[in-house]
């Protein structure tokens, strides 16, 4: 599997589903996903790659 995104500008989130509450959410990759409703364990459904919220520090947006 080849990476299609620049890891510096994209992050991989953990998308999950709580079967008990029937709610879904996303967690940062460094965090253990847990349900925001019941705080219980969740089922990971996907790991979407999304653009990072902030540009890397020190790299100017325009040249
Ligand atoms: Zn839940």
Domain boundaries, the chain: 10-48
For the segment 17-57, what is each residue's pLDDT rounded down to a tens digit? 999 999 999 998 888 899 999 999 999 999 999 888 755 55
Long-range contacts of 30-39, Cβ-Cβ distance < 8 Å, separation of 24 or more: none
Residue with tokens 């979407």: 48
Give me ligand 1 centre to Cα 38, in Å.
4
Torsion-angle region of residue 51: left (phi > 0), alpha (psi -120 to 50) or beta? beta
Distance CA 36, CA 60 (A): 36
What pTM, to 2 d.p., does this model score?
0.65
Please give the residue that has the higher pLDDT: either 7 or 34: 34
Give me ligand 1 centre to Cα 16, in Å.
10
Give me ligand 1 centre to Cα 41, in Å.
7
Q: How far is CA 33 from the centre of its chain?
A: 10
């Amino acid at each position: 599997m080849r990476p299609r995104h620049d890891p510096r500008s994209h992050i991989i989130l953990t998308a999950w589903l709580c079967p008990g509450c029937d709610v879904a959410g996303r967690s940062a990759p460094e965090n253990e996903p847990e349900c925001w409703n019941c705080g219980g364990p969740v089922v990971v459904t996907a790991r979407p790659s999304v653009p990072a919220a902030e540009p890397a520090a020190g790299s100017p947006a325009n040249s």
